[in-house]
A and B are shown apart, each in its own frame.
Chain A
Amino acid sequence: MDEELRQILQIFLEESSENLDVLEQGLLRLEQGPAAGEELNVIFRAAHSIKGGAATFGLDPVAEFTHVMETLLDQLRSGRRQADAAVVRVLLQAVDALRALLAGAVEDDATAALASAAPVREALEAVLAVVPGTDAAPAGPAGPAGPQATVGDEAAPAGEDAGGWRLQFLPHPDIWQQGNDPARILRALGGLGELHLRADLTQVPSLEALDPAQCHLGWQGVLRGEVSQAQIEELFDWVTEQCELRLEALDATALRSALAELDSSATGEAMAPAAATGNAADGAADPVGPAHETATPPAPRAAAAAPASVAGRSSNFMRVSTEKIDALLNLVGELVITQSMLQTFGGALEEDGKSGMRDGLLQLERHTRELQERVMQIRMLPISFTFNRLPRLVHDLSAKLDRQVELRFSGEHTELDKTVLEQLADPLVHLVRNALDHGIEAPAVREAKGKAPTGLLHLSAFHEAGNVIIRISDDGNGLDGERILAKARERGLIEPQETPDETQLHQLIFHPGFSTAEQVSDVSGRGVGMDVVSRNIVSLGGRIEVQSSPGVGTSFTIRLPLTLAILDGQLIRVGSQIYVVPLLAILETIQLRDAQLRAPVQNGEVCRVRDEYVPVVRLARLLDCREAQPEPAQMLMIVESDGQRIGLAVNDLLSQQQVVIKSLQHNYRHVPGIAGATILGDGRVALILDVQALSSLRCQPTRPLAPAALA
């Protein structure tokens, strides 16, 4: 295979892997509830693309295998067969087998994959052998139904009884000159019911002949829902003179076949924008329509969020390697530094009355900042990217462990830096595994306790004060404090006479090699999980906490920085050095007066702030500042550190600015109390304080360099 073909093959494999994800997620949703027609179409299209691509590249085993799968999916789509649990299970196995086959194709060694795919293919054929319409129970090698299985006859697509309209809309080329925009009409049409639309590109001339002021597009579509002809015609009222509009009323059966027809013509033409609902109408109008805001966040992988975006994405997204984006981000970072340097010099010019210069600098600042934000956004992906892996895991594990689990997501559109997301995947998988294995009890046990037999596993993500919070909570058994204590004593982690409080006790589960599971299973219990979870989170600059109450449930809270690249900072002076404090951590800053200070114990000053005594941390001392003549601190900066308010005594407050975070670890190592470094306008390096860690540093002032930090 020559190099060029190999590259194209690589793209096909990447796309296939995405298509497999779409397939898998779609199948899991099928299992949860009655299938909407569009859902099945998305699944079918994913399989179809894989088959087509595989045939093109001569990957015959893949193509043949997918063909069998596709036959079954086609029966589901056309309503000839119901998607019951057994069928979905076989299809899920087929997804795995297909994944292995494709992986085998990369290594030019498909023997093992073929061998494992054979029984799955037989299972698929066995399902196909059962004539649809007869009782579908014995389909495939029968096994226990999955925990969330829906009974077959419930799977009738929702809204199936509703009729609809087939419509053809061919605007005249001069429609825009009259001030009408077909995209707007189509969008309004989508508001009436479920709109499936396909652009007719046959009238589009070649590029040389193309007049961008003319409309060369037409649309064919199917509108599902109880909509009257008058309602539709009202939307086209303004353009009746400038278009051809054909409407045809459809009953339920005719609607289904019209939909299938529309879809098959869509999948048949690779160049045509894929048909889709609602917002895909925007997509279809995009190539000619005036620029308009992107309605959905740029989320190429947000497949589970909305099936419509799956279908519409091919026309709206392009693949860019992460390296290119990172190079861009680095350059923008440099630009920000240069800009703040210019601003420093520009400040000196101001007296000369060179207002043109000042305006230019102000504009530069605005544009730089905007550019920076935009580039940052490129790297942001919704957390559903990571969440989407979990339904399959929960599906498989709950069957294996005999649990009934409802997996619920909220805030899956919360966006996070791609690097953070990728490194978050493993910890999340660990936590979900743990929740199923240790947390949620078997149905019988739950019922005996008076709980619902189905346990709830809730993953939520949201923003809070410049952080992203991800919470994984279950309503299971909770942490067993006594057993943790016994285990910790047994391992010598705590002294026999010591009685740690609840928080300390819970924190022990993050200790390496700590597990209270009585039996080591292949799911969890080896005690290698939680310390890895904790370490991964800390390496991302985040923290993990656990709250648990016995018998009621456990909840893990992961706190992560929004991005690893930029920070709104307050510059402070400590001695002769400048440090950066994250602006979001600062609650308030007050003048420090000796009269407010009390020292109940040595090295333990507190300051009275209104009616509260706040512990004072002298940064000059904590940061090991060795000045010949220490000058007294002037300001007290109240920050929240590790859940408590502390006051940082500093010499001076300087400006506030956005700083680009540079890693200290890259060339050196992690330093306790320091989150990173940045480069100031004058080219000097300033360290960024890790406010969260400061309060724990404060607790050990006599040995600021914790031995653990040397590793």
Chain B
Amino acid sequence: MSLSERAPAPDTAPGLTAVTGEGDQYLTFVLGKEEYGVPILAVQSIQGYREVTPIPNTPAHVLGVINLRGAVVPVLDLRRQFELPAQFGPTTVIIIVRPDEACERVVGLVVDAVSDVYRLRREGIQPPPEFGGQIDAACLQGLVPVDGKMIVLLELNALIGQQASAASVAASLLHPQDSHLPG
């Protein structure tokens, strides 16, 4: 996702506080104790969590597929991708994103809860530090301090491309028992 200036996006997530100001809009969501952000223009819709059809022989963080208005859309569990313990609560939602405008590929991300919409200036974004292999740094676009907390901006293309990365496949092959499917 480029960080160039964009025309203000329509408020795609009603009920969330829109922060006025300059810069690109980001939708943030909560995962464990952290808040993450994705460019709002990539967000297509937010769906309540529902039963997912698992796909056999895929990495553990690929929960499966759902029916989104007739299309079969894969769903990734970000908790599992970020190696947090699996947890589903009443606020768990699936954010449907289309990471690449040029491509019609659509993917769902399971997160603990949606949080807010922020306008973030490009200058305020710091490059991501090394995480010592915990999370692939390519998935992170940068860190932004907002109102005394930190928001981790995600690089959607890398995040979704990672579903087939050798590391996660190896992990699922090494620990097949760890990957209990929900539902």
A positions within 8 Å CB-CB of B: 330, 333-334, 337, 576-577, 622-626, 662-664, 666-669, 671-674, 677, 679, 683-687, 703-705, 710
Interface of A, helix, strand, loop or mixed by DSSP = loop
Q: Give the CA-CA distance A668 to B169 in the complex, in Å.
A: 15
Is B84's CB within 8 Å of the partner chain A? no
Is B51 a contact partner of A667 (Cβ separation < 8 A)? no
Closest to B65 in A: A685
A626-B180, A685-B66 as given contacts; A710 in contact with B164, CB under 8 Å: yes
Point out the residue from A337, A663, A684 that lies within 8 Å of B70, measured CB to CB.
A337
Is B57's CB within 8 Å of the partner chain A? yes
Q: Give the CA-CA distance A334 to B69 in the complex, in Å.
A: 9
Neighbouring A residues of B72 by C-beta, 8 Å: 662-664, 666-668, 677, 679, 685
Point out the residue from A330, A674, A679 that lies within 8 Å of B55, measured CB to CB.
A674
Neighbouring B residues of A703 by C-beta, 8 Å: 173
Is A687 a contact partner of B57 (Cβ separation < 8 A)? no
Closest to B64 in A: A685
Q: Give the CA-CA distance A622 to B183 in the complex, in Å.
A: 20
Is B55 a contact partner of A334 (Cβ separation < 8 A)? no
Neighbouring A residues of B172 by C-beta, 8 Å: 705
- Quick one: which of B14-45 are within 8 Å of A by CB? none
Additional A-B contact list (10), CB under 8 Å, known A668-B72, A671-B55: A576-B183, A624-B57, A664-B65, A666-B71, A667-B73, A673-B56, A685-B65, A685-B66, A686-B53, A687-B65
Closest to A679 in B: B67
Is B152's CB within 8 Å of the partner chain A? no
Q: Give the CA-CA distance A625 to B56 in the complex, in Å.
A: 7
Q: Give the CA-CA distance A632 to B53 in the complex, in Å.
A: 21
A672-B57, A704-B57 as given contacts; A667 in contact with B67, CB under 8 Å: no
Neighbouring A residues of B51 by C-beta, 8 Å: 684
Q: Give the CA-CA distance A705 to B55 in the complex, in Å.
A: 12
Is B65 a contact partner of A668 (Cβ separation < 8 A)? yes
Point out the residue from B53, B62, B106 that lies within 8 Å of A687, measured CB to CB.
B53
A667-B106, A667-B107 as given contacts; A673 in contact with B70, CB under 8 Å: no
Point out the residue from A333, A666, A685 that lies within 8 Å of B104, measured CB to CB.
A666
Is A669 a contact partner of B57 (Cβ separation < 8 A)? no
Can you list 28 pairs linking A and B with CB atoms under 8 Å apart? A334-B70, A576-B183, A577-B53, A622-B56, A624-B176, A626-B179, A626-B180, A626-B181, A662-B70, A664-B65, A667-B72, A667-B73, A667-B74, A668-B65, A668-B74, A677-B53, A677-B72, A679-B70, A684-B53, A685-B53, A685-B66, A685-B72, A687-B56, A687-B65, A703-B173, A705-B58, A705-B169, A705-B172
Is B67 a contact partner of A683 (Cβ separation < 8 A)? yes
Is B142's CB within 8 Å of the partner chain A? no
Q: Give the CA-CA distance A330 to B55 in the complex, in Å.
A: 24
A626-B180, A671-B55, A672-B57 as given contacts; A662 in contact with B71, CB under 8 Å: yes
Shortest beta-carbon distance from A618 to chain B in Å: 13
Is B166's CB within 8 Å of the partner chain A? yes
Shortest beta-carbon distance from B50 to chain A in Å: 9
Is A710 a contact partner of B53 (Cβ separation < 8 A)? no
Neighbouring A residues of B163 by C-beta, 8 Å: 668
Shortest beta-carbon distance from A575 to chain B in Å: 10
Shortest beta-carbon distance from B48 to chain A in Å: 13
Interface of B, helix, strand, loop or mixed by DSSP = mixed
Neighbouring A residues of B180 by C-beta, 8 Å: 626
- Quick one: which of B134-176 are within 8 Å of A by CB? 163-164, 166, 169, 172-173, 176
Neighbouring B residues of A674 by C-beta, 8 Å: 55-56
Q: Give the CA-CA distance A301 to B58 in the complex, in Å.
A: 43
Is B122's CB within 8 Å of the partner chain A? no
- Quick one: which of B50-94 are within 8 Å of A by CB? 51, 53-58, 62, 64-67, 70-74
Shortest beta-carbon distance from A630 to chain B in Å: 14
Closest to B180 in A: A626
Shortest beta-carbon distance from B94 to chain A in Å: 13
Is B105's CB within 8 Å of the partner chain A? yes
- Quick one: which of B93-126 are within 8 Å of A by CB? 104-107
Closest to B68 in A: A667
Neighbouring B residues of A330 by C-beta, 8 Å: 70
A669-B164, A685-B65 as given contacts; A664 in contact with B105, CB under 8 Å: no
Neighbouring A residues of B67 by C-beta, 8 Å: 679, 683-685
Is A666 a contact partner of B58 (Cβ separation < 8 A)? no
Point out the residue from A577, A666, A667, A710 that lies within 8 Å of B54, measured CB to CB.
A577
Q: Give the CA-CA distance A589 to B58 in the complex, in Å.
A: 29
Q: Give the CA-CA distance A190 to B134 in the complex, in Å.
A: 80
Is B166 a contact partner of A624 (Cβ separation < 8 A)? no
Neighbouring B residues of A663 by C-beta, 8 Å: 72
Neighbouring A residues of B64 by C-beta, 8 Å: 685
Neighbouring A residues of B106 by C-beta, 8 Å: 667
A662-B71, A677-B72, A710-B166 as given contacts; A671 in contact with B53, CB under 8 Å: no
Q: Give the CA-CA distance A683 to B180 in the complex, in Å.
A: 24
Closest to A671 in B: B55
Q: Give the CA-CA distance A564 to B53 in the complex, in Å.
A: 22
Closest to A677 in B: B72
Neighbouring B residues of A679 by C-beta, 8 Å: 67, 70, 72
Q: Which 4 A-B pairs have the closest CB atoms?
A: A623-B56, A668-B74, A624-B56, A685-B53
Neighbouring B residues of A334 by C-beta, 8 Å: 70
Neighbouring B residues of A577 by C-beta, 8 Å: 53-54
Shortest beta-carbon distance from A494 to chain B in Å: 26
Q: Give the CA-CA distance A687 to B172 in the complex, in Å.
A: 21
Shortest beta-carbon distance from B68 to chain A in Å: 9
Shortest beta-carbon distance from A342 to chain B in Å: 16
Neighbouring A residues of B54 by C-beta, 8 Å: 577
Closest to B54 in A: A577
Closest to A702 in B: B173
Q: Give the CA-CA distance A654 to B140 in the complex, in Å.
A: 45
Closest to A711 in B: B164
Q: Give the CA-CA distance A683 to B69 in the complex, in Å.
A: 9
Is A664 a contact partner of B55 (Cβ separation < 8 A)? yes
A662-B72, A668-B74 as given contacts; A710 in contact with B57, CB under 8 Å: no
Q: Give the CA-CA distance A664 to B181 in the complex, in Å.
A: 19
Is B105 a contact partner of A671 (Cβ separation < 8 A)? no
Is A671 a contact partner of B181 (Cβ separation < 8 A)? no
